[in-house]
Structure 1
Amino acid sequence: MPPAVRAEILDAYEQRLRTTGNAIFADPEARRQALCQANAVIDDVDRYGASGTAEMAPVATPFTLSVGRDRAQRGIHPVQSLRAATLLFEAALPPLIREYARGDADDGAVTANVAATLHRTIMARIETGALSYVGFLLERVFTSHLAERRRIGRELHDRVAHAIGVGLQHLDLHRIYQKRRSDRAEGKLDQAGRAMRDALSLTRALSEELRHSVGPAGLEDALRGYLKASVPSSVAITCTVTGDTRTVPQAIAEEIYLVLREAVRNALLHSGSGRLDVSVEVCGTALTAAVRDHGRGFTPSPQDLSGGGLLSMRERVELVGGSLSICPGPAGGTTVAICVPLSGESR
């Protein structure tokens, strides 16, 4: 392949990525990877193009596999990769045909062979990248679900088991005081009853969380139900919903519900705020949501975002192609903000 033809294809491809506003062009590393892939495509066509050979060498190299995973990490939607593939085909086909059909009597057959090989080698890389992209997302789903199970396990151990242990301790003390005919025996029995009722209440709350999901009534119904059941009466709460949350795809609504639930729980446990503001807005192209408290404020460090509940929240949002931010409010408190595109595009 003459260097001038290769340079012409790569320049035209990069120009098309730029003028169409493709997300791959906007990310320097993704753009570098795309040009490396384009070079490999040109090599394949150079090797097999004019002959019409059906069999090509496997394209599932470590680099090709890493591209899909890397784009998932960078939040680049597969739609952008498919569009980039189309742009590469459009940029490469005319120069390749001009190069291979030159002086060939059967230029129609040459053109067909070149186009077929170009199409096959591009789509082989798209397929390989898509598999690694999906594999990465499945890992993220597993990680998020595992984090949720661990959280519930901690709740059972730290709160439910503790309340039961306290209740049993009071029952043991009741028996001891009863044998001594102490006036304190009755008080210990009352304390045991309160501890057991606390444990029962906690168990019911966890059971409700496990059972509850976003059903046909939509995200708004699930969110209001959770707030009603879980926010104590001592905390003033506003919940503002704009747009029809029933139009949000089920998979997105479920993940966003879990993130909002975790944000509300964190605010109740850590902010010391007597007021929470929860908002959700659904428009044609995006879902935005926020949980704002008016407490002591919190600015997460990189370490805070690298593990635990905050990491799980961020991963759930990124899983559906969105972004999450946590920042202090202008007048104190903390705001957790979410934005998720609904048009099938990456952010």
Structure 2
Amino acid sequence: MGCEVGTEIGSAMARSLDVHGPDIIARYREELFRAGNPLAVDEQIWRESAQQARAVLADCVLALELGRRQTARTAATQVADHGRRRASAGISPRYAVVAGTVLFEIVMDRLVPAAEGRPEGAEQIRIAAEALQQSISSRLETAVVGYDQVLLERINRLQSGGQRSLARAIHDELGNTISLAMRHLELYEHLTPGPAKPADAQLVAAKQALVDSMQGIRDIVTSLRRDELAGSLEQALKLFVASVGGTRPEIEVRVTGDEAWAPQHVLVEVFLAVRECLRNSLSHADADWIWADVTINPHSIGVSVVDDGVGFDVTAALEAGANGLTSVTERVELLGGVAAISGIPSVGTRVTMSIPLPEWADGH
């Protein structure tokens, strides 16, 4: 292969997945169909789901051949489009979470017997499990971005009279779905006692992601239930800063330019991306100050969020599947822009974004 070579058993396990791939996909659909999962019922949605399942298998095969987990590479726009179509069809994200679990279990059922009692078998199972978890999680996160976009577009189309109804729908449907996922994780922890396993760190990360999602839902619901929404991007960001309270760190937000140059849905995405950056700094940076600057030009939006906190290794964080950083990057990419994240330990963190604006942004 011209690169690292895995063990003999790892290569044998990889070949087995290659050979039995069609059987795995067939069983995957059968189990989803039996459970009434809509991802297996609608033919268009199933074709997309099967495509992603084959990509997950390919990631696992590559990891076994190399003898190490590879960072999953997803076609972000394509996967997000899948999420949009599922949202448009009224398919809740929880079905994708359940499907990911089903696929993980089917693949592991195929691999574990082949590794039992074999030298280095446990290590190869660990590599396979981590590769599957990373590949499935990255695709779920990207698909949710597409799902969120549809939700935001619906929000933008609603008049103020319908906002309270939307708030109830978000709270009741998405909030309950995430609470259910949290309970499933807690049940898994309860049913699998014993020494710490390599996947435990991913389990902790998944639970934290759900906690963050619940907080995000509360923020959206609170903002929808206000009698008067903030009238501008700058007001919305300053309202968020005021809501977090405290005297440290000192947070300053500045927005310059004419917001009429940008479509409303772009301004919403910029708000969400900047808010995520501010949250990351507040949660992890231990900073004395945070500065967020948004410059709106006729043809582009430039964003810079800087803190003087502890900094971090950006590459390591992204490889570990940092949800906040991934969310910011993918939001910007889906708008056709570019995001750059730099962190220097003990110095601080800087996030920059450049987002092009369409010519029709002013409504002409």
- Place the TM-score, normalised by the shorter chain, in its bin: 0.3 to 0.5
Larger CA Rg, structure 1 vs 2: 1
User: TM-score scaled by structure 2?
Assistant: 0.40
User: TM-score scaled by structure 1?
Assistant: 0.41
